[in-house]
Amino acid sequence: MTNANDRKTAPNTDPLPPDDLNRNLTIARPNTDQSLPHIAMVGDTYTVLMSGKDTAGMYCLFDMHVPPCGGPSPHRHDFEEMFSILEGEVEFHFRGEKLQLKAGETINIPANAPHFFRNESTSTVRLLCMCSPAGQEEFFMRVGVPVDGRTTQPPEPNDVQKKEFQSKAKALALQYRNELL
């Protein structure tokens, strides 16, 4: 029997499967494609560049615009999450450790690890975020609020809307393999 560590080091000698002609090339053009969903989440704006429908469920990809003081609260989930910082600097908290990342750097958050990130700067930060396998985009679309564009500043929720968001996120979190800490 092969364990997970063997798969990482042992070469696979099985032949490659044939090309799946039912799958198509997908191109994301966030500056011009009006059909891409832009979602306001916790004060940030997340654009779904690739969904699980585009990648046969292998991953989803987001373009994230995070304003000063933005970022999610502490959480964890059972899927891998990788961030590449495109613009600015962002502070990641991983298992209690604080890490500062800047443009050009990439971080991978292992599945099930507690984490969050925060933009502690005075400028908007831009990140690419890949989740594998896909599914997080569905959570964001069910919990977040649609906005017009990838750089649209989310509306400021009032106290009632904040409580409604928190209740909705908490109710759906486990369904989408998330735990809010």
Which tens digit of pLDDT belongs to each residue from 116-157? 999 999 999 999 999 999 999 999 999 999 999 999 888 888
Contact 23, 57 (CB under 8 A): no
Return the biggest CA–CA distance within the chain.
Answer: 58
CB atoms within 10 A of CB 172: 14
Token pair for residue 160? Answer: 């009632």
Distance separating alpha carbons of residues 69 and 139, to the nearest angstrom? 22
User: Which has more confidence, 101 or 8?
Assistant: 101
pTM: 0.89
Q: CB-based burial of residue 178 (10 Å sphere; 0-12 exposed, 13-18 middle, 19+ buried)?
A: buried
Question: What does the angle CA 109 – CA 111 – CA 113 come to, to the nearest 5 degrees?
Answer: 70
Q: Catalogue the long-range contacts made by 153-158 (C-beta closer than 8 Å, 24 or more residues apart).
A: 153/45, 153/67, 154/40, 154/41, 154/43, 154/44, 154/45, 155/40
Domain 49-147 has CATH 2.60.120.10: yes
pLDDT interval class at 17 (50, 70, 90): very high
pLDDT tens-digit profile of 72-91?
Answer: 999 999 999 999 999 999 99
Tell me phi and psi for residue 53, to 5 degrees. Answer: -65, -30
pLDDT of 68 strictly over 70: yes
How many CA atoms are closer than 13 Å to the CA of 134, on its beta-carbon side? Answer: 18
